[in-house]
Structure 1
């Protein structure tokens, strides 16, 4: 830069002219000066026009509004007295597969909480994004927002069952999850439901925070807990954390260690998972199961949990795995895949008695609404990075009615549906559903 221009003038440093006098002829120097003089006149004329222009008012700006730490919405009376029990003898979980919410599953949570007409009760929904849309759906009995004991389909009718409030907390950060106000609201819940969304938010924002401790305290009191889609994904001892893109069946089977397969805990461990309810030990879950053709990726997820071992033909299992593969026992690698508009009602039944489960759906469902219980009976024979997965004799049990009771503790109560194999990254049979 050889000069500095401003609206009122354009000046060139004196040292530039000293160099010019030693290099230019007098006539060229005079021509240069005339040119500069003309340029100065032009700038003066432009400046005059600018200053003669009508004054323009300075724009005004509203101060930026602070982003709220969390959002809280309540329907009903949060100050109403509650006499429903704050602790219960056995645990209760709703495992929901996404898509349309299953109305009777919400009613079951309310009933399992010991809430009845006259007892009061607080139903708290937690999520990292979204709105308070669950509040009226759970609290009211119909689209007139009545609290009638006649409950229309697509409504839960919680108030008629005894709820005094439904509350939603949107908790979008670690700071919000550590908020004393957030945890004070959650700690008073008689039922907790984790909404759908993105389970990576729940792992990134909630794990290791005061919120996780509040959830564990509630579960220690056997307060009923439910979750759908992403909310389902974080209820197992092992969670598919989906920190990047959602894994597909094709990519998972071709490389069981590709980057979109992420777990919590990481690395896989028998301790340290997010909330990890004891009643759901050794399990991993997946949602939207048959509508998104997720069997291939789910078998891959479960295979990754299988610990390395030695067999007569060589090594087996997966690097980083922590549980055995077996067709018996209750501490083996296994998982539950749940279809859309489907809920699995899981309950404890007392000391030395098994944890059991029943499937429910909506009366008007147009899908099969099935639950798939998946367990590899032998370790994968090929399970390492950048190699297609090979695992055989994977047991699949299918529950598609609401009368059968499945024994989660010993994995019985539903007959074997199919054995599936993945050979060199390809699922057989492909039409598993």
Structure 2
């Protein structure tokens, strides 16, 4: 890593063009090799150990904080308080599309090794960051630079491929379950940030203040009903952080057992009939499915993040407990459960040491080192997205498939193989 150290200073730059900059650190940009990782924080005071985990992935580079209100509260915290070496921390308070697309802002985001999205109002982020050059740079940061990104509260809310936009304000569990199409249940899908491991996933924050189980169940009910496929949810209590490494392993930080601090990994049951029984406008939600509509792995957050959940299979975890959630006539109920072993409903992923394929991750064309047949692409929900039938091919096109993990199935000399593929 080549680095020039000049001096440390704190500067404030106020612009009439929709943003304000607060800078701390070394004014000369450095280029380091960051390590991918994602931090989903529940919305209250930051967890120091989780933030240390995330900052270390910047590998001494430059940190950019994005927010739409507030000021420089993160600058000293990231730059010096946690004892992790970074080159600089710059907070950009963006208050308009003009600010989001200002060349200065775009340049700083392009140079960042770590991006943190603060709390606030996520509809400001949707309004200011989406469908413009800033969105393009954020997705390049994630999928081309393979650099870390995280957020708290509103910042966490926009990290999933599906997201609660809060376009019409917040919504309570009671409002959502009594009418899944309540005007405040506003959900965006596959049109903003593209973190591959969070494809098919929606997040929720401040999960214990107030109780938001009902509204997350409603968000998932809407997504499952409208897409007719399994979707997933990750929720954090206020003081809990979910840190996802480059291998898709989620580690949960908090202060359990001193406090009841949990993360929740929520998925529809993997039975043949998993769609909500009643999910219509102006009618209370019913998603029962014999009392096992949703399978939930509740993981206590500890200071060292010792408990985990595997987002590659949504099945393997440590230190957590399984529960069933069900909603009947708008009322949610919780019972104890066992591991649903939903991975058994998906094709087995078999390591293939004989047939070469590249590149993986893939963006458009994936190439085999020989002719194969009967190629299929499955989502992790088991849905078949592509089937070549009996055609013999040596390449397969992933360009029309959203970013995320998939299972590739194919035959060669009468033997069927399976490989897990990341589309970036």
What TM-score does the superposition give when structure 2 sets the normalisation length? Answer: 0.69
Greater RCO, CA 8 A, separation 6+: 1
1:396 and 2:288 matched: no
Alpha-carbon distance in 2 for matches of 1:407, 1:164: 32
1:102 and 2:47 matched: yes
Deviations 1:17-58, CA, capped at 9 Å, x for gaps: xxxxxxxxxxxxxxxxxxxxxxxxxxxxxxxxxxxxxxxxxx
Relative to structure 1, the CA distance from residue 240 to residue 333 in structure 2 (aligned partners, 3 Å threshold; closer, same or farther) is same
Q: Matched residue of 2:307: which SS?
A: coil
Deviations 1:227-256, CA, capped at 9 Å, x for gaps: 000000000010000111210000100100
1:361 and 2:262 matched: no
Instruction: State the 1:421 CA deviation.
Output: 1.1
1:276 and 2:169 matched: no
- If each structure's helix is expressed as a fraction of its own residues, which one has the higher value? 1
Contact in 2 for aligned 1:126/1:169 (Cα 8 Å): yes
Q: Which residue of 1 aligns with 2:325?
A: 420
Q: Gapped runs of 5+ residues in structure 1?
A: 1-64, 116-120, 142-155, 266-270, 307-317, 325-331, 350-354
Alpha-carbon distance in 2 for matches of 1:131, 1:114: 25
Q: Matched residue of 1:76: which SS?
A: strand
1:73 and 2:73 matched: no
The counterpart of 1:134, out of the listed 66, 74, 79, is 74
Q: Matched residue of 1:391: which SS?
A: coil
Count of aligned residue pairs for this structure pair: 310
The counterpart of 2:207, out of the listed 289, 292, 306, is 289
Contact in 1 for aligned 2:324/2:336 (Cα 8 Å): no
Q: Which residue of 1 aligns with 2:409?
A: none
Instruction: State the 1:405 CA deviation.
Output: 2.3
Larger Rg belongs to: 1
Contact in 1 for aligned 2:197/2:311 (Cα 8 Å): no
The counterpart of 2:276, out of the listed 380, 396, 402, is 380
Contact in 2 for aligned 1:78/1:122 (Cα 8 Å): no
Contact in 1 for aligned 2:41/2:152 (Cα 8 Å): yes
> Which residues of 2 match residues 327-366 of structure 1 at below 5 A?
332-349=230-247, 355-361=248-254
Relative to structure 1, the CA distance from residue 293 to residue 430 in structure 2 (aligned partners, 3 Å threshold; closer, same or farther) is farther
Deviations 1:359-410, CA, capped at 9 Å, x for gaps: 01259x9532200111121210000101110002111110004322211111
> Which residues of 2 match residues 45-194 of structure 1 at below 5 A?
67-79=16-28, 82-85=30-33, 88=35, 91-115=36-60, 121-141=61-81, 156-157=82-83, 161-194=84-117
Contact in 1 for aligned 2:322/2:336 (Cα 8 Å): no
Instruction: State the 1:83 CA deviation.
Output: 4.8
Q: Which residue of 2 aligns with 1:259?
A: 183
Q: Matched residue of 1:256: which SS?
A: coil
Instruction: State the 1:291 CA deviation.
Output: 2.2
Contact in 1 for aligned 2:205/2:238 (Cα 8 Å): yes
Alpha-carbon distance in 2 for matches of 1:262, 1:191: 29
Relative to structure 1, the CA distance from residue 426 to residue 388 in structure 2 (aligned partners, 3 Å threshold; closer, same or farther) is same
Relative to structure 1, the CA distance from residue 284 to residue 323 in structure 2 (aligned partners, 3 Å threshold; closer, same or farther) is farther
Contact in 1 for aligned 2:66/2:91 (Cα 8 Å): yes
What TM-score does the superposition give when structure 1 sets the normalisation length? Answer: 0.68
Q: Matched residue of 1:252: which SS?
A: helix
Q: Which residue of 2 aligns with 1:303?
A: 221
